[in-house]
Amino acid sequence: MTIQMPVLPYAENALEPVISQQTIAFHYGKHLQNYVNTLTSLAKDTEFADKSVEEIVVSAPEGPLFNNAGQTLNHALYFAQFKSPVQNNVPSGRLAESINAAFGSFDNFKQQFAQAATTLFGSGWAWLSQDKDGKLVITKEPNGGNPLRHGLNPLYGLDVWEHAYYLDFQNRRADHVAASWDIVDWDIVASRLK
């Protein structure tokens, strides 16, 4: 099995002030590492031992194995999709066209995505995904859920568990969501389109 800790594509302080080095140290270095270690342990010597994390997310029954696989995959996608803050950060090309086709405009998409992220009760994720017909959709996934479980292709996910933003924004989830637009690496998100 090749469940591995993903390598950050930037320095731990590269996302400041949106996500602090301290948050990266805890979120990536502690939370994600724990999910990877637990998933490795749970899958060992089972029918899932030789499956990819994506295959485990799609096929594992609800419970600890699925939860840790979902969180491992979610966080791997999450940490790979960011870059140092940029003002007026917008997608281009096919991704921009797909967003406009699905939501009318980038501003409409941001508003609908923020609504999903701020109204998810408790812990979980807001996702921009692509359905089997190529259309973009926004979904909310509780806990460690991932759109793959529902036949969708995850493009961009925002973690709204408090450990993702509490050190930097305390209880102000909406402020975290709004600030996150400055650090999205839209080229990475676009590379996930099918």
Q: What is the mean pLDDT of each run of 10 residues along the chain (194 residues)?
A: 84 96 94 95 93 94 95 96 95 98 98 97 95 97 94 97 88 94 98 97
- 151 falls within a domain: yes
- 4 falls within a domain: no
Q: What is the pLDDT of residue 162?
A: 87
Residues 124 and 69 in one domain: no
- 9 falls within a domain: no
Residues 113 and 182 in one domain: yes
The alpha-carbon radius of gyration of the chain (Å, integer) is 16
Residues 53 and 138 in one domain: no
Quote the domain boundaries for residue 38.
Answer: 21-80
- 2 falls within a domain: no
Residues 65 and 100 in one domain: no
Q: What is the pLDDT of residue 2?
A: 67
> Per-residue DSSP letters for the chain?
----PPPPSS-TTTTTTTS-HHHHHHIIIIIIHHHHHHHHHHHTTSTTTTS-HHHHHHHSPTTHHHHHHHHHHHHHHHHHTB-S--TT----HHHHHHHHHHHSSHHHHHHHHHHHHHHS-SSEEEEEEE-TTS-EEEEEEETT--GGGGT-EEEEEEE-SGGGTHHHHTT-HHHHHHHHGGGB-HHHHHHT--
How many residues are given for the chain? 194
Domain at 63, CATH number: 1.10.287.990
- 184 falls within a domain: yes
